[in-house]
Amino acid sequence: MFSAALTPLDAELAPDHARFVAHCRYLLDEGCDGIALLGTTGEANSFSAAERMALLEAVVAAGIAPQRLLPGTGVAALTETIALTRHALSVGVDTVVMLPPFYYKGVSDDGIYASYSEVVQRIGDSRLKVVLYHIPQMSAQPISHALIERLRKAYPATFTGIKDSSGDFANMTAMVERFPGFSVLVGADPLLLPLLRKGGAGCITATSNLVARDLAYVYKHFRGSDDDAALRAAQARIVKARELVSRFPQMASLKTIVAERAGHAGWQRLRPPLESLPPAQAKELLADAAAFAAATV
């Protein structure tokens, strides 16, 4: 169970390394198996390659085991994807989450395959493991089952899983059935329990920034019966938390709630073009979040 971690920003709108390390430790203490940093929730595509490398280095230097980190390294430029992935390997990280190249639309599976293949061949490191990232609502570049099959056939030890953030449960279960041994990770928190019961591997989710303990409980106890009151309660809190942060823009909502929890207003900052919540929305969200917290004590 991995958290799609938020990235705190300093007054210059640069990643706040110390605050991010503290947040990573909090998430691990709450039950996360690892941290998926520099993904969509972490605003990765608003940061330069140098900023991304520096943040990853800071986390590793702070003593968080590289094996517990899943940095996002897929960007639009082939050579930059290679550089980010090589850098991750250089600091001891062996598994990365990799978006397909996403700027040009309507490209074929052949083109996407060629891009992934170039990355693997040019890096030429047997340690590398890649989790594909399927988020077509953002990338506009879906990852087809045919492409997965082709990549696995060519590089069976490299392409080990996929994060599916499409929300399409049928697509997730179809991948579980078609690709034995391939880790299918859900990106929508409420779907963790049903996907685990279909043979899925786990999750990389945004709401884990708020309800990591509940997600960890579901991950550890999903085989329990529907009569398991604790399991039902954890699932209900996960669903409620996801609904809570989806009423207004999700990343701004998550940061607003984390800022309140951490007692540091700087957590509310997002790098443009993303924006913090307007004061009226933030007030409404925090009132609802307080009611949610009180109801779960």
Strands (E) across 14-93 are located at 34-36
163 catalytic per annotation: yes
Query: Burial, 28: exposed, middle or buried (Cβ in 10 Å; 0-12, 13-18, 19+)?
Result: middle
Helix (H/G/I), strand (E/B), else coil: 112: helix
Angle at 151 between CA 148 and CA 156, to 5 degrees: 110
| Residue tagged active-site, from 26, 104, 133, 219 | 133
204 is in an annotated binding site: yes
Contact between residue 244 and residue 289 where contact means Cβ atoms under 8 Å apart: yes
Cross-strand partners of 161: 131, 183
- Residue 202: both structure tokens together: 């786990």
> Among candidates 164, 158, 129, 128, which has minimal Cα distance to 145?
164
Question: Sign of torsion, CA 46 48 50 52?
Answer: positive
Contact between residue 73 and residue 88 where contact means Cβ atoms under 8 Å apart: yes
| Residue tagged active-site, from 113, 116, 129, 163 | 163
81 is in an annotated binding site: no
198 catalytic per annotation: no
Q: What amino acid positions are annotated as catalytic residues?
A: 133, 163
Residue set of the binding site: 41, 204
Annotated binding residues for pyruvate, written as ranges, equal 41, 204
